[in-house]
């Protein structure tokens, strides 16, 4: 790219720990708090990229592990990179594959250099290291590359979490050394340490010493109660630089997003909006709507009559109920579309509340409506 600006983060407003900012990438800005729809295998399931963009999404997530296995990072690169391949021309963040590889119980062997594993698709043997993960993400042309890390299980005792943390920090130093620094591209480090406050603080401080464009909080959304997750964020985010974006990986439900923004998080991804859409679960301002329930079979009202999203506005709950009962794929598409649009509405509402200095009131009212 010519005259591409440097990757940077502007903090535009704050309200308590909640932050309103803007991430600048070579493919355009990302307003924060931001939610990244998950496009694991080069697609946000059930959605055209134009429709994803119309929800208000400015950035999506891809995954190095899945794309290296199928269709292959080299093939994607030969076809113009992931943006061209999937017809998404905004920024893309790619997960390093560390979580996916390390979750392959019985199919992988871990050592200090990296991970040897067998594909969940065909059993073929592969090797992933910090250097190869970063190179895969370079071939995909990710705007934001994630450092390779080890995600420990939950629950995890202090000694196990300590050993995992030390390995992760070594891998993240190697990831930084392997990263091809270019204008408009960023590399994020990942804070680990289980739910142990001292390890989380130490991990964050040592990552800052290494130096990254942004900082992710990993190893959460793996089964821990929300109270433990929130407590972990409370000891982690104050250690991270104010001038860098903060990304909470794999979270979560709408209330979880509000909780995390309240604790200083800027960026999110999660499969819930799309996965729930395929399971007839719609997220709304007044809580969850399980459309497969019989009480919706005669309901003429849409999910949100005031919405500018066609999926939310133009189809009755009775029709959506019918689609799922009939096994029609359109039900998956419409509720996924609605959920992604709702998540972007929620992000926009939080940005406005922070700018207006009323985030605490917004969060309280939102939680109250969600638990009616």
Distance CA 303, CA 283 (A): 9
The SS3 of residue 20 is: strand
Q: Indicate if 288 belongs to the active site.
A: no
Q: What residue ranges in the chain does DSSP mark as E strands? A: 8-15, 18-25, 28-32, 34-36, 60-63, 92-95, 108-110, 115-118, 125-128, 144-146, 186-191, 214-217, 246-248, 267-269, 281-284, 287-290
Report the Cα–Cα distance between both ends of the chain, in Å, rounded. 50
Q: Which of 143, 149, 266, 269 is catalytic?
A: 269
Strands 8-15 and 18-25: antiparallel
Burial (CB count <10 Å: 0-12, 13-18, 19+), residue 298: exposed
DSSP 7: P
Write the CA distances from 322 to 176, 303, 359, integer angstroms.
51, 14, 38
DSSP 148: P
Question: Within a 13 Å sphere around the CA of 278, how many CA atoms are in the beta-carbon half?
Answer: 8
Question: Within a 13 Å sphere around the CA of 247, how many CA atoms are in the beta-carbon half?
Answer: 34
- Residues 91, 59: contact at Cβ < 8 Å? yes
- Residues 280, 291: contact at Cβ < 8 Å? yes
Peptide bond into 287 cis (omega under 30): no
Structure tokens at 69: 């296995």
Helix, strand, coil share (%) of the chain residues, nearest 5: 40, 20, 40
Q: Which of 15, 95, 143, 149 is catalytic?
A: 95
Q: Indicate if 50 belongs to the active site.
A: no
Residues annotated catalytic, as ranges: 95, 269
């Amino acid at each position: 790219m010519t005259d591409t600006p440097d990757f940077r983060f502007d903090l535009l407003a704050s309200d308590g720990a909640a932050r309103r900012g803007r991430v600048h990438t070579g493919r355009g800005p990302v307003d924060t708090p931001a939610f990244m729809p998950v496009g694991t295998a080069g697609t946000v399931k059930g959605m055209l990229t134009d429709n994803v963009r119309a929800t208000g999404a400015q950035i999506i997530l891809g995954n190095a592990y899945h794309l290296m296995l199928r269709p292959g990072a080299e093939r994607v690169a030969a076809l113009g990179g992931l943006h061209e391949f999937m017809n998404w021309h905004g920024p893309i963040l790619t997960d390093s594959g560390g979580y996916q590889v390390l979750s392959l119980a019985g199919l992988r062997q871990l050592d200090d250099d990296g991970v040897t594993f067998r594909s969940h698709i065909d059993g073929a043997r592969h090797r992933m290291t910090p250097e190869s993960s970063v190179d895969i993400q370079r071939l995909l042309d990710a705007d934001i590359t994630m450092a390779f890390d080890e995600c420990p299980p939950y629950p995890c005792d202090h000694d196990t979490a300590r050993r995992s943390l030390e390995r992760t920090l070594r891998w993240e130093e190697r990831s930084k050394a392997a990263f091809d620094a270019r204008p408009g591209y960023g590399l994020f480090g990942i804070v680990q340490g289980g739910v142990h406050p001292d390890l989380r603080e130490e991990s964050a401080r040592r990552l800052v010493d290494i130096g990254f464009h942004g900082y992710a909080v990993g190893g959460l959304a793996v089964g821990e109660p929300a109270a433990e997750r929130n407590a972990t964020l409370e000891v982690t985010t104050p250690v991270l630089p104010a001038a860098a974006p903060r990304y909470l990986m794999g979270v979560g439900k709408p209330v979880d997003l509000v909780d995390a923004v309240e604790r200083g998080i800027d960026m999110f991804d999660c499969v819930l909006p799309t996965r729930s859409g395929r399971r007839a679960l719609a997220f709304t301002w007044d809580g969850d709507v399980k459309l497969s329930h019989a009480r919706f079979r005669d309901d003429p009202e849409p999910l949100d009559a005031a919405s500018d999203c066609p999926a939310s506005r133009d189809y009755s709950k009775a029709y959506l109920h019918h689609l799922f009962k009939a096994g029609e794929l359109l039900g998956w598409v419409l509720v996924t579309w609605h959920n992604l649009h709702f998540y972007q509405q929620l992000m926009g509402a939080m940005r406005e509340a922070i700018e207006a200095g009323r985030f605490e009131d917004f969060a309280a009212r939102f939680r109250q409506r969600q638990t009616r």
